[in-house]
Structure 1
Amino acid sequence: MADVKKELRIGMVGYKFMGKAHSHAFRDVSFYFDPKVEPVLQAICGRQEEDLKQAAEKMGWNSYETDWRKLIERDDIDLIDIVTPNNSHAEIAIAAAKAGKHVFCEKPLALTLEQSKEMLKAVQENGVIHMINHNYRFSPAIQMAKKLIDEGRLGKIYHVRALYLQDWIMDPQFPLVWRLNKDISGSGSHGDLAAHSIDLARFLVGEFEEVTGILETFIKERPIVESSSGLSGSASTDKFGKVEVDDASVFIARFENGAIGTFEATRFAGGNRNGNRIEINGEKGSIRWDMENMNNLEVYFHDDEPGLQGFRTINCTEELHPYAGAYWPAGHIIGYEHTFINLVTELLNGVAEGYNPLPNFEDGVRNAAVLEAVEQSSQTKQWVRIADLLE
């Protein structure tokens, strides 16, 4: 008779865009993988009870709470999953850690670097497992790129080029949703989009040494929002409110290993729905990846035969590609949702075995330091060293 697998009872705060993605990952992870603990969708939390009740039923949660404090107090919850707007991350995560709950948190980790450091301190002092959701790391193609780089196939890294381009707020009449409210989001495209590019660059290339950049807001005022969900919203009146976050972020960077990088994040790149792209050039070769074609990794090697040189496209769906073997036969592509499943596998195994999988709150702090350094540079028009902010 097979051993009964230990359960990990999840309590999730929030239930919309990321709540749907996280719920799906917890529900499906054991279908594809064999995590060392079995996730149980124990309770979900939100403020609008009727909407919350419907979400709980649709996504398969056993119960719900309308106060996250009550969720944390429950004895039948082992891990708190935070998918709320950015301004509540720190308070919930710190309270959860003090209650002895493991913590899984959406990015960016908090509104500020200082809050991020407080969150890291709380999980460390209370000995709980912690992880931040940078799911793009867990595309098999990105994992394959990491493998090639770590094996030295690209040699010394020279350049990193990262773009994260969207266009969903280009209409000046698009309302002032929470992602455009500094008190709630902390920043605009910079913290929402560039945070992913920063994390991918750190994962693939290494730590940032210094940065210089600019932030720009193109539309200074927008209609006051009546309701919003995900990346959409509706305006209630003809009243306008001030936009206090950036519409675009552009910066250059130097890495500790000598590589240099250029980074651009914007919500004003027409025709780009989710253009998350990265290119890395080394002495022996290059790689390119585009989230909108996430199964493919473009690879170039300098020592290819003359006349046949150029980028080749690797469809990273074969069993030898990281995570891909858990899904379908080669060429039967996977999607955005599977990056969350891959990440959740690592989270569950980390909890089972008592180690902090990557990326965790330490990564969240380092990413926040780069974000804040760019903001400082935009204000001072000077280079900012990352180490100075981490002291």
Structure 2
Amino acid sequence: MKIGIVGASFARAAYLPALRHVEGAEVVALASSRIESARSAAEEFGIPAAYDDWQAMLDKHQLDLVLIATPTDLHAPITLAALERGAHVLCEKPTAMDAGEAKGMLDKANALGRVGMIDHELRFNPNRQRVAEMIASGELGDIRHVNIANIGASWANPASRPKGDWWSLAEQGGGRLGANGSHQVDMLRWWLGPVRSVVGQALTVLPDRLDKKTGEAWTATADDLAYFTMEMASGALAQVFMSGVAANNIGNLTQVFGSKGTITLDNDNERLMYAKAGEGFSDITVEDPNAALPGLNKGVWNVSVVAALRELTSAIRGGRGLERGATFEDGLKNQQVLDAVKRSTQSRSWVDLP
């Protein structure tokens, strides 16, 4: 399977180490905005061709699969071009700049019969799969509410980011809502089903920035703090709070409250804890067997990519749709929630979903 990758940073961290453990995968080309980054990654992983122009890469190679890990504003253009050239696509999150772009990606993939996956790799993490199974089986009873907090300090220092950092620019699709909120929305939709209505805010708490090397002043336009509440069609409430401007890193804590029991999952130690109603918590953590594979970078995100890529390549070979993972349709529905949070920021009111 001939694979091309756009975006060197996440490719080095996750895609390329994982693809060494995906049968039949052959990365033939890699593109990055900086040719130095593309060449360095290509040399390290034995990739024959490196580019600083993704369009040139698509023009010069007949690819079966394209992996896209770029700033968000490039997701839709690269996806559409790759699909038109005959490739299937794995696109990073958030899906696109807005639901209109996400729908265009879905419609094009469907029209051409291509497989499209959004890289919400936590769907392939065994602990989160265990939660999904316990909810689906009724073991937790009726889910009444879910709380998720993701608190960090990456944006707390005004001089912590370089000038032009795309993660801090709304015009390139940066911000905590897209970077982390998209994962939380996808996980909650996977666990709890459709979203009925959303209220929340995506805020830029520290817009006045200084370049981390030169001290030059610049302005951040993307959200560094976002929070929202989703009313699910099931009646459950899910609350998500994400901050990049805290003084300390607290990490990510997920709590699921059902009528028959409670679950907590802490990203710092990846321990899954479960308590039946009226009883104490016990450890029900499920270890990921892929974590022991050689050459992978540590962390749940990097490890989970292995199973995601195995499912995607299996679906392509089998001429079938995805049996697991986030489809382009999921990507559209996730994007509708993110768009609703942005509208709610302006209206300061609940926004109903389609």
Instruction: Report the TM-score, using the length of structure 1 for normalisation.
Output: 0.83
Which of 72, 78, 97 pairs up with 1:92? 78
1:150-229 alignment to 2 at 5 Å? 150-175=136-161, 176=163, 177-184=165-172, 186-223=173-210, 225=211
Mapped partners of 1:354, 1:278: distance in 2:
36
Question: Is 1:264 aligned to residue 241 of structure 2?
Answer: yes
Q: How many residues align?
A: 345
1:326 to 1:12, Cα distance in 2 relative to 1, 3 A: closer
Kindly report which structure 2 residues correspond to 1:1-391, keeping only aligned pairs within 5 A, or say none. Answer: 8-30=1-23, 38-175=24-161, 176=163, 177-184=165-172, 186-223=173-210, 225=211, 234-236=212-214, 238-272=215-249, 275-294=251-270, 296-302=271-277, 309-317=279-287, 324-325=288-289, 335-336=299-300, 337-357=302-322, 358-387=325-354
Shift in Å at residue 269 of structure 1?
2.8
Per-residue deviation, 1:328? 5.5
Once residues 327 and 276 of structure 1 are traced to their aligned partners in structure 2, the CA distance between those partners, rounded to angstroms, is 20
Q: Which amino acid aligns with 1:68?
A: W
Distance 2:291 2:267 in 1: 19
Cα offset for 1:369?
0.5
Code of the aligned partner of 2:274: V
Deviations 1:323-348 (A, max 9, x none): x456659xxxx842211112111111
Consecutive unaligned residues in structure 2, runs of 5 or more: none
Runs of 5+ consecutive residues of structure 1 not aligned to the other structure: 1-7, 31-37, 226-233, 318-323
**Which deviates more from structure 2 when the two are superposed, residues 72-81 or residues 199-208?**
72-81
Asked if the contact 1:15/1:46 (under 8 Å) is kept, the reply is yes
SS where residue 47 of structure 2 aligns? coil
Shift of 1:21: 0.9
**Alpha-carbon distance change, 328 to 215 in structure 1, aligned in 2, over 3 angstroms:** closer
Query: Amino acid of the residue matched to residue 80 of structure 1?
Result: V
* Distance apart, 1:75 and its partner CA: 4.4
Measure the CA separation in 1 of the matches of 2:185 and 2:85. 31
**Contact between 2:198 and 2:230, CA under 8 Å: does it hold in 1?**
yes
SS in 2 for 1:162: strand
- Radius of gyration: which is bigger? 1
Deviates more, 1:356-365 or 1:97-106: 356-365
Letter in 2 for 1:384: V
Q: Supply the distance in 2 between the matched residues of 1:126 and 1:282 (Cα, whole angstroms).
A: 42
CA RMSD, 1 decimal: 1.9
Kept in 2: contact 1:279–1:289 (CA 8 A): yes
